[in-house]
C-alpha cells in the first residue's frame, strides 16, 4: 500500500508563533523535527510542507462572522480571553497553514495508507469561536474538505488528547459521515462537553492498564460498526502522568502502546490513518517532545 518514497510527513517551520510566556510550548514543533532528524527517523520519510487552507475550506466549518473577525483582526478582548492565546496575524497564518497541513496529511493518508502531521489537532475551536489555544479547527476543516472532495464519505475521528474534543463534536453534531470518538479526562477542561458520537470520560489518574482496556474495548467496535474509510487520529501527549494540564496517569510506555494500538488496529482493518499531534504540556517540555516523537516513530515503523 505504501509507495517507495516512504511515509509522508507534513511539517512547517511557521507553526512556531511568538505567543509570549505561555504553557503552550510552541517550540515543540521545531524541537520534534530536530529530534527526529537527529535520530535519523525522517531519513526515509516523504517530507512535505503545507499550503494554507483556503477561505472556502475554513467557511465549510467556521461561520462567516467568526472568520471575518480573524481575517480583520477584530476579535474582542472577551473572545481573546476565551481563546487563551494572544491574537496576531502570525497566529492566523500559522492556523491556516496548520489546517492546510492536516488536510494535506489526510489526502496523503488516503492515497498512501498512512501519514503524519508534525502539528495539528486544534479540536477546541468551534464554528463561531476559538477557545483553549485553538483558533481554527484544523481537524474539522480537513475532514470537511475530504468529504467535499469526495475522497471519502465515512470518517472516524479518534481523539485521544486528554481534553474532550468539544469543538469537533459540536461542528459535526449533525454530520453522519463523521463519527467523533473522544477518550478524555472527564473532570478537566472543557467544563461543558457537547456530545460526540462516542465520549469516554475517564476518572482522575486512570493509568495505562485501565486506559488500554477501555481503548481495546471501544476502538475495534467503533470501526466495525461505523466502517470508516479514513481515521484522523489526535495523538495528544497530555494524558501523560506528568502533564500540567492533564489529570490521567499514563506513562511514556503507555502512550507508546496507545499509539501502536491505534495504528495497528487501523492497519489490520486496512483503513487509512492520518496522525496529528494535538496537546502536550508536560512539566518537562522535553517529555512532551519525546512523547510526540514516539508517536511519529510508531507511525513510521
208 interacts with Zn ion by CB under 5 A = no
Nearest to 134 by CA among 199, 205, 79: 79
Dihedral of CA 164/168/174/180: which sign?
negative
Size of residue set near Zn ion by CB under 5 A: 5
Site for Zn ion in 143-202 (CB under 5 A): 161, 163
Pick the piece of the chain touching Zn ion (CB under 5 A) from 57-65, 99-107, 112-120, 231-239: 231-239
Does 239 bind Zn ion (CB under 5 A)? Our answer is: no
Tell me which of 159, 199, 208, 238 binds Zn ion, using CB under 5 A: 238
The one-character DSSP state at 85 is S
With a CB cutoff of 8 Å and minimum separation 6, the contacts of 102 are 117, 119, 120, 121, 138, 139, 141, 142, 232, 274, 276
- Which residues are CB-neighbours of 73 under 8 A, at least 6 positions away? 87, 89, 92
- Rule CB under 5 A: is residue 241 a binding residue for Zn ion? no
In the complex, what is the shortest distance from the CB of residue 84 to Zn ion, in angstroms, rounded to a whole number?
12
Among 8, 167, 254, 279, binds Zn ion (CB under 5 A): 279
87 versus 122: smaller Cβ distance to Zn ion: 122
CA 223 to chain CA centroid, Å, is 19
| Residues 6 or more apart in contact with residue 258 via CB below 8 angstroms | 160, 211, 212, 215, 235, 239, 250
Nearer to Zn ion, 8 or 246 (CB): 246
- C-alpha closest to that of 94 among 7, 19, 8: 19
Which residues, in sequence order, are CB contacts of 268 under 8 Å at separation 6+?
Answer: none
Q: Which residues share a beta bridge with 282?
A: 243
**Residue nearest Zn ion (C-beta atom):** 279
Span near Zn ion by CB under 5 A; candidates 68-76, 88-96, 183-191, 275-283: 275-283
* Between 42 and 281, CB nearer to Zn ion: 281
CB of 188 to Zn ion, least distance (A): 8
Closest approach, Cβ 280 to Zn ion, in A, equals 8
CA–CA distances in Å: residue 47 to residues 89, 130, 268, 299:
26, 30, 25, 14
Residue 15 or 300 having the CB closest to Zn ion? 15
CB-based contact 218:184 (threshold 8 Å)? no
Q: Which is nearer to Zn ion, 7 or 162 (CB)?
A: 162
- Please say which residue, 237 or 293, places its beta carbon nearer to Zn ion: 237
Span of 37-45, 238-246, 250-258, 261-269 interacting with Zn ion by CB under 5 A: 238-246
The nearest distance, CB 162 to Zn ion, in angstroms, is 5
Which three cell numbers mark 206?
486512570
Nearer to Zn ion, 183 or 293 (CB): 183
- Contact residues for Zn ion, defined by CB under 5 A: 161, 163, 236, 238, 279
Amino acid at each position: 500500500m505504501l509507495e517507495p518514497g516512504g511515509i509522508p510527513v507534513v511539517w512547517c517551520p511557521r507553526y512556531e508563533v511568538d505567543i509570549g510566556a505561555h504553557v503552550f510550548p510552541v517550540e515543540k514543533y521545531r524541537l520534534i523535527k530536530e529530534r527526529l532528524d537527529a535520530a535519523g527517523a525522517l531519513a526515509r520519510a516523504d517530507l512535505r510542507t503545507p499550503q494554507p487552507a483556503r477561505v472556502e475550506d475554513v467557511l465549510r466549518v467556521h461561520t462567516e462572522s467568526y472568520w471575518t473577525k480573524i481575517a480583520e483582526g477584530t476579535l474582542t478582548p472577551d473572545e481573546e480571553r476565551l481563546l487563551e492565546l494572544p491574537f496576531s496575524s502570525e497566529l492566523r497564518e500559522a492556523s491556516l497553514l496548520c489546517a492546510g497541513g492536516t488536510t494535506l496529511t489526510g489526502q496523503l493518508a488516503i492515497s498512501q495508507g498512512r501519514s503524519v502531521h508534525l502539528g495539528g489537532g486544534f479540536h477546541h475551536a468551534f464554528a463561531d469561536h476559538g477557545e483553549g489555544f485553538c483558533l481554527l479547527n484544523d481537524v474539522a476543516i480537513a475532514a470537511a474538505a475530504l468529504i467535499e472532495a469526495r475522497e471519502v464519505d465515512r470518517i472516524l475521528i479518534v481523539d485521544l488528547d486528554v481534553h474532550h474534543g468539544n469543538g469537533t463534536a459540536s461542528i459535526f453534531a449533525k454530520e453522519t459521515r463523521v463519527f467523533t470518538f473522544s477518550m478524555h479526562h472527564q473532570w478537566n477542561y472543557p467544563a461543558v462537553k457537547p456530545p460526540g458520537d462516542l465520549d469516554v470520560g475517564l476518572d482522575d489518574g486512570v493509568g495505562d492498564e485501565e486506559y488500554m482496556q477501555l481503548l481495546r474495548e471501544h476502538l475495534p467496535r467503533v470501526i466495525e460498526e461505523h466502517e470508516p474509510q479514513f481515521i484522523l487520529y489526535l495523538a495528544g501527549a497530555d494524558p501523560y502522568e506528568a502533564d500540567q494540564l492533564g489529570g490521567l496517569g499514563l506513562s511514556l510506555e503507555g502512550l507508546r502502546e496507545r499509539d501502536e494500538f491505534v495504528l495497528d488496529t487501523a492497519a489490520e482493518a486496512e483503513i487509512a490513518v492520518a496522525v496529528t499531534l494535538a496537546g502536550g504540556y508536560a512539566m518537562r517540555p522535553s517529555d512532551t517532545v519525546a512523547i510526540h516523537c514516539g508517536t511519529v516513530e510508531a507511525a513510521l515503523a
